[in-house]
Amino acid sequence: MLIIHSPVTVSEIKNKGGLVGYKVEPWLKTTREDMFIINLDNVLTLSESQDMEMIMMYQHFLRDSQREYHNQHRLNRRMGYISNVQDAKENLEKLFKLDSKDTKSSPDQPPQR
């Protein structure tokens, strides 16, 4: 059994001018999982890089992908976010002119006036 964490693929990119760069991508693009368990019978080859430039690119990729993942979870108005529960409650109470002290009853009981 082989456990891999945050595997990536690295491919060489060449342009018309002959400049060479590298493209680092997730190993599997269909999931956000970062740990995989693989049966060793299914492994053809395994390599570990000692190249510091590649290691730095990998670490940079991980930092960027984690930052991107955390920023994706912030909801905005376009996604349908209006407000948090407390703000919505206060706005509705102002709208219906209720005092928040009057609404401390349980959800099953109507507020006392």
Element (H, E) at 35: strand 35-38
What is the CB-side half-sphere exposure of residue 52 using CA atoms within 13 A? 0
For the chain, which residues score pLDDT lower than 70? 69-74, 98-113
- 85 alpha carbon, distance to own chain's centre: 23
pLDDT in tens, 43-67: 898 888 898 988 898 899 888 887 7
Do 29 and 82 touch, CB atoms closer than 8 A? no
Cα–Cα distance measured from residue 76 to residue 73, given in angstroms and rounded to the nearest whole number: 9
